[in-house]
Amino acid sequence: MAQNTYLTIGRAPDIKDPKDRALFRFFEMLPGILSWSTLIGAVLFSWLAPKWTAFFIIAFVLYWLLRTVYFSFHLRSGYKRMRENEKIDWIERLDDLKDYQLNVSSWRDLYHLVIIPTYKEPYEVVADSIRSLKAAHYPSDRIMVLLAIEEREGEEGVKKAELLREEFKKEFDEFLVTSHPDGIEGEIAGKGANEAWAGPKAKELIDQKKIPHERVIVTSLDADTVVYPEYFGCLSYYYLTTPDPQRTSFQPIPLFLNNVWQANPISKIFSFASTFWHTMNQERPEKLVTFSTHAMSFQALVDVGFKLPNVVSDDSRIFWQCFLRYDGDYKVQPIYYPISMDANAASNFFLTMRNMYLQQRRWAYGVGEIPYFLFGFSKNRKIPMKKKIALGAELLESHWSWATSSFLIFMLGWLPLFLGGEIFADTLLSYNLPRFVAGVLTISMIGLVGSAFLSINLLPQRKPKYGRARLLVFTLQWIFLPLLMIFFTALPALDAQTRWMLGKYMGFWVTPKFRKEKAITPSEVGL
């Protein structure tokens, strides 16, 4: 395989060389093999070796408890820093800044390019996102907006783009609309392919304006994302103070508050659980990978040839593209500043549950990054082995845990009792096992109490029809999170891994956007 051609691989069938294709295919199967082996092994060993299975589950729930405590500390630290960053006047910070990590005379030399890929999102959803850019506390003549529509949306998409351009074309330095053609061979229709088409169009504009690429910060903005007032100022500050910003991505914290009062209780819980996961990860930058809305140097985007058109999880793939392209010299810098997106909501309860499952499965389908970077590691000898092992082990463990831990916790506490036979059933170990597991899980529930408290603090101001009773229900429903995680965390993750394992590849599923009311503004969240 020619040098660096592995950077453009989407999945095993893209590879011509039989040996390389077989290796990549093995890496695609690996996460599913590990997860299914764990679950099947748990059942078999509960029958064949119940005593050793009992010792395993004791060790596992203790590990889970320590992991919960570890994550809880990171969550509270990340939450505190986010709240602190929300209160800062970042333009004032930029004015006071004297030393830059970039060759500029002033922060005003920077430009922000915001790429908004859209497909079938309602006009108001996209308009709310662009209005938030306009309302940001940042010079609008240093913001360029690129609205990337899809040809396959038809006349409706064209009309939506024309209305948006007419409303906002005078509000920014540039307002560009691109239309991604339908049916390009080798592409997976979705957000990544749309941005892959839009990127070179943005480069043409930037080159015409003679703006150095390293002075352009590009934000990939989901169509429902509302940026908060200090987003661009905060991002600019981190860009100018982070060592080697051209080899760095910048990750805000995603909140799912735009329509949170319209979402059903289960959707609310998982929206906040996702927010807390990403808040916690801001405290572990060495293990952080880009997710959803993120920012990076336009120079880096050009260096890797823009996003790949043949992948589903483009938001995380762009990090691995850069990581391999720069021989491991690439990182993600957390900025501890929030942006807001839509919680999962639909016209009825069951449709919302379906959409939640499909969205969680699409996120879990990011397990496909494991074969990409493992294969890349095998080809790129310049990346330090220590870094390869650390990142590889972290991603494998997190996806394994994602697919198996909920099953293991709720299954292994009682499975050896049912399958272990009378000899094991008469032991003291069999008597104490379920009580021990229940006790550890009860202690772990303390973490849920803390999560419920933080989620209440993040909730927007209550509207008249959303009273205290509904707030109480919202608090109590956190109790059901561990059980719900089986159906809306572990099961979709196992589904995604199984599809990779069997070679039943997925396309990009667009989460439908549904709002009964306008998006909640930053001022309603207390910002």
Over residues 32-64, the pLDDT tens digits come to: 999 999 999 999 998 889 888 888 888 888 888
Q: Within this chain, do residues 217 and 86 fall inside the same structural domain, yes or no? A: yes
Predicted pLDDT at 305: 95
Predicted pLDDT at 311: 94
Is residue 193 within 8 Å of residue 309, measured between CB atoms?
yes
158 falls within a domain: yes
Predicted pLDDT at 324: 96
Q: Within this chain, do residues 279 and 405 fall inside the same structural domain, yes or no? A: no
Domain tally, the chain: 2
85 falls within a domain: yes
CA–CA separation, 216 and 523 (whole Å): 29
Q: Which of 304, 329, 353 is the last residue of a domain?
A: 353
Q: Within this chain, do residues 252 and 314 fall inside the same structural domain, yes or no? A: yes
pTM surpassing 0.75?
A: yes
Q: Within this chain, do residues 432 and 304 fall inside the same structural domain, yes or no? A: no
Q: Within this chain, do residues 52 and 123 fall inside the same structural domain, yes or no? A: no
442 falls within a domain: yes
Residue 317 CB partners (closer than 8 Å, separation 6+): 192, 307, 308, 311, 369, 372
Q: Within this chain, do residues 60 and 176 fall inside the same structural domain, yes or no? A: no
Q: Within this chain, do residues 410 and 347 fall inside the same structural domain, yes or no? A: no
- pLDDT-wise least confident of 307-311, 317-321, 370-374, 469-473: 469-473
Q: Within this chain, do residues 183 and 292 fall inside the same structural domain, yes or no? A: yes
Burial class (CB in 10 A: 0-12, 13-18, 19+), 474: buried
Banded model confidence at residue 517, pLDDT cuts 50, 70, 90: low
137 falls within a domain: yes
Assess whether pLDDT exceeds 80 at residue 230: yes
Beta bridge partners of 331: 248
Mean pLDDT to the nearest integer, 95-120: 95
- Taking only the tens place, the pLDDT of each residue in 320-371 is 999 999 999 999 999 999 999 998 888 899 999 999 999 999 999 999 999 9
**Which amino acid, residue 104?**
V
Mean pLDDT to the nearest integer, 432-443: 82
% the chain with pLDDT above 70: 92
Question: Which tokens hold the place of 362?
Answer: 């699409």
Banded model confidence at residue 440, pLDDT cuts 50, 70, 90: confident
Angle of helix 349-364 relative to helix 265-281, nearest 10 degrees, comes to: 20
Q: Within this chain, do residues 482 and 505 fall inside the same structural domain, yes or no? A: yes
Q: Which of 289, 322, 353 is the last residue of a domain?
A: 353
Beta bridge partners of 237: none
Banded model confidence at residue 464, pLDDT cuts 50, 70, 90: very low
Is residue 412 within 8 Å of residue 42, measured between CB atoms?
yes
For tokens 């104490």, the residue is 432
58 or 234, greater pLDDT: 234
Banded model confidence at residue 484, pLDDT cuts 50, 70, 90: confident
Assess whether pLDDT exceeds 80 at residue 459: no
Assess whether pLDDT exceeds 60 at residue 2: no
Closest by alpha carbon to 218, among 114, 91, 99? 114
Q: Which domain holds residue 48?
A: 5-66+394-523
Assess whether pLDDT exceeds 70 at residue 472: no
Phi-psi region of 305 (alpha: psi -120 to 50; beta: other; left: phi over 0): left
113 falls within a domain: yes
483 falls within a domain: yes
For tokens 């439908």, the residue is 512
CA–CA separation, 483 and 487 (whole Å): 8
Assess whether pLDDT exceeds 80 at residue 463: no
CA–CA separation, 216 and 239 (whole Å): 10
Assess whether pLDDT exceeds 70 at residue 187: yes
Banded model confidence at residue 462, pLDDT cuts 50, 70, 90: low
Question: Which tokens hold the place of 343?
Answer: 């919680």
Would you call 420 helix, strand, or coil by DSSP? coil
Q: Within this chain, do residues 58 and 78 fall inside the same structural domain, yes or no? A: no
**CB half-sphere exposure, 515, CA atoms < 13 A:** 21
Q: Within this chain, do residues 422 and 504 fall inside the same structural domain, yes or no? A: yes
Assess whether pLDDT exceeds 90 at residue 251: yes
Tell me which DSSP letter residue 487 carries. I
Using DSSP bridges, classify how beta strands 294-297 and 216-220 pair: parallel, antiparallel or unpaired. antiparallel
Q: Sheet holding 143-150: strands in order across? A: 174-180, 143-150, 111-117, 216-220, 294-297, 248-255, 331-340, 226-227
135 or 421, greater pLDDT: 135
Closest by alpha carbon to 37, among 408, 387, 317, 516? 408
CATH number of the domain that residue 136 is part of: 3.90.550.10
Predicted pLDDT at 164: 96
Q: Mean pLDDT: which of 188-197, 345-354, 516-525 is highest?
A: 188-197
- Taking only the tens place, the pLDDT of each residue in 381-396 is 999 999 999 888 989 9
Residue 78 CB partners (closer than 8 Å, separation 6+): 253, 279, 280, 281, 282, 283, 334, 336
- Taking only the tens place, the pLDDT of each residue in 389-420 is 988 898 999 999 999 998 988 877 788 888 87
Mean pLDDT to the nearest integer, 97-120: 94
Q: Which of 353, 381, 410 is the last residue of a domain?
A: 353
Beta bridge partners of 220: 115, 294
524 or 12, greater pLDDT: 12
51 falls within a domain: yes
Q: Within this chain, do residues 49 and 120 fall inside the same structural domain, yes or no? A: no
- pLDDT-wise least confident of 95-99, 332-336, 420-424: 420-424
Q: State the average pLDDT for the chain.
A: 89
Residues, the chain, total? Answer: 527
372 falls within a domain: no
Tell me which DSSP letter residue 344 carries. P
H or E segment and range at residue 231: helix 231-241
- Binning the chain into helix, strand and coil, the percentages to the nearest 5 are 65, 10, 25
Predicted pLDDT at 524: 54
